[in-house]
Structure 1
Amino acid sequence: MHGLDLADDTFLAVPGDLVSAAVAEPAFLRRHWSELVLRVYADRGVKGRCWTVDGPLHGTMEVWLEPVLDGTVLHYYLRVDPVGPDGRPLDLTPAARGRLARRWRIIGRGAALELKLRLEAGREPGLAP
């Protein structure tokens, strides 16, 4: 089990292929996870992507895209261990682990909300995507 196991879900009122293309943009990844080294190990097209994570965190990150009604639910998972400069796992206090989890939860939520605002821009509420 990883030291940090985070998950979040966001509904986007746009088709999955648009979300998938946006998630694959290198600039999008750099904006939100610039501290991390992300390497794609599974490109599932309209179903999402999986990355290995290196840097101050070590583990995996996943975006799973699920078609729902007239849009897509973006499921975000970050399963990692914090590591020191030497690559060894850090033994954090519960308070420090909580702060770190909150920080990466906010980053993941910010990424999902950026996509939501950008991809839904100009769409009137209640209208089809």
Structure 2
Amino acid sequence: MRSRRIDIVDETFVDAAPALVRAQLDDDDWADRVWPHVRRQVARDRGLKGVRWKVTGQVDGEMEVWIEPWWNGAVVHHYVRGTRGPRAPRDVAVRHTLRWKRAVHGLKDRLEGKSM
């Protein structure tokens, strides 16, 4: 039997002020598009340092985006700790990671003034 445990760790440098990255986390429409497979409830609002949520749905546990100031930008850390929900696909961790990477790189491109 495969483990139901999910542990995701990711970090991406964004060459933009931490406050601009943080503002995106307050956009519920954006967050709902990034994480449609979980319901989020703020467990700890860390201001410019990010947000920690309790999550339920395809992942049950906690999720966090921590924004670390770095030079003229920020390292955006993303953590997920929990278990696969009862109706989640076996590859929910992979799907979550890919969805996050698309979202954070889209944010990076927009804030850095790049477009494809």
Q: Which residue of 1 aligns with 2:107?
A: 115
**Displacement of 1:117 after TM fit?**
1.4
Secondary structure in 2 aligned to 1:72? strand
- Greater C-alpha radius of gyration: 1
Q: Which residue of 1 aligns with 2:95?
A: 103
Instruction: Give the alignment partner of residue 23 of structure 1, picking from 19, 22, 25.
Output: 25
Count of residue pairs brought into register by the alignment: 111
**Displacement of 1:100 after TM fit?**
2.9
Q: Which residue of 2 aligns with 1:37?
A: 39
TM-score (norm: length of structure 2): 0.87
Moved more, 112-121 or 67-76: 112-121
Where structure 1 has 5 or more consecutive residues not aligned to the other structure, the ranges are 123-129
Contact persistence 2:63–2:80 (CA under 8 A): yes
Q: Which residue of 2 aligns with 1:62?
A: 64
Q: Which has the higher strand share?
A: 2
TM-score (norm: length of structure 1): 0.79
Q: Report percent identity of matched pairs.
A: 34
Q: Which residue of 2 aligns with 1:80?
A: 82
> Residue deviations 1:59-114, cap 9 Å, x none?
010000000011000000011211215xxxx8x9xxx4xx3322111112122112
Q: Distance in 2 between matches of 1:55 and 1:7?
A: 19
RMSD, aligned CA: 1.8
Q: Which residue of 1 aligns with 2:50?
A: 48
Where structure 2 has 5 or more consecutive residues not aligned to the other structure, the ranges are none
